[in-house]
A and B are shown apart, each in its own frame.
Chain A
Amino acid sequence: DSGVTQTPKHLITATGQRVTLRCSPRSGDLSVYWYQQSLDQGLQFLIQYYNGEERAKGNILERFSAQQFPDLHSELNLSSLELGDSALYFCASSEARGGGAGANVLTFGAGSRLTVL
């Protein structure tokens, strides 16, 4: 157990639907990262939050959104789902000592596997 909790572990839904993935970071970590892992794209950085504020944005589609709440948990919302959104979505957390030095070591959750039919 890494200390980063992701729910649900598995999710099957239909095209056009909307889902929410949840992540609770490791105790004491202020920063949350979301990654998408698919067979053909590898691990793609989606978005990062630090202490409730968006910090960095990667290849996140407009149909996707995320937020980090005051208790530091984060949710990734995926809407108008397409077949190509089927993937493993990882959340990671770090202490992120504010400076954005790139020296953060990420602790990953077990992932949420999304299947869109």
Chain B
Amino acid sequence: AQSVSQHNHHVILSEAASLELGCNYSYGGTVNLFWYVQYPGQHLQLLLKYFSGDPLVKGIKGFEAEFIKSKFSFNLRKPSVQWSDTAEYFCAVAPYNTDKLIFGTGTRLQVFP
């Protein structure tokens, strides 16, 4: 069965620190990849997505993610986090030609000023 693993359940950083959140998936075929963010008390919002092409994808608010096919990974990065980045981050995978979107368990990020 397809699955998504997010290794970091809870990350605590100070402002201006660099961020990398890991995401690995298990599926042998073509996939579309997503990162969603859920700010406190809000709905999930799309942060960035990868369908094809350049494996380095840039999203909103300075976030980027790199798809490494050989490692089945889609890690999220930001060079310098802000207090407003405090949120829960979800990686998601959609196997091509299906309507399923499979989420990881999420990573809670806390940024302290």
Known pairs A2-B43, A56-B98 / 13 extra A-B pairs, C-beta < 8 Å: A2-B45, A31-B99, A43-B105, A45-B100, A45-B102, A48-B99, A55-B99, A102-B32, A102-B99, A104-B99, A105-B34, A108-B43, A111-B43
Number of A-B contacts (CB under 8 A): 72
B74 within 8 A of A: no
Whether B94 lies near A103 (C-beta < 8 A) is: yes
Report B-chain residues with C-beta under 8 Å of the C-beta of A2: 43, 45
B104 within 8 A of A: yes
A89 within 8 A of B: no
B65: min CB distance to chain A, Å: 15
A103 to B86, CA, bound (A): 28
The proximity string for A residues 37-55 relative to B, scoring 1 for CB distances below 8 Å and 0 otherwise, is 0000111110010100001
Known: A2-B43, A43-B106, A45-B103. A102 touches B95 (CB 8 A): yes
A100 to B105, CA, bound (A): 24
Whether A110 lies near B43 (C-beta < 8 A) is: yes
Known: A42-B106, A103-B32, A103-B51. A56 touches B100 (CB 8 A): yes
- Near A by CB (< 8 A), chain B positions 61-76 give none
A44 to B46, CA, bound (A): 17
Whether B98 lies near A42 (C-beta < 8 A) is: no
Q: Which residues of B contact A (CB under 8 A)?
A: 31-32, 34, 36, 42-46, 49, 51, 90, 94-106
Whether A35 lies near B103 (C-beta < 8 A) is: yes
Whether A42 lies near B103 (C-beta < 8 A) is: yes
Report B-chain residues with C-beta under 8 Å of the C-beta of A4: 43
A107 to B45, CA, bound (A): 7
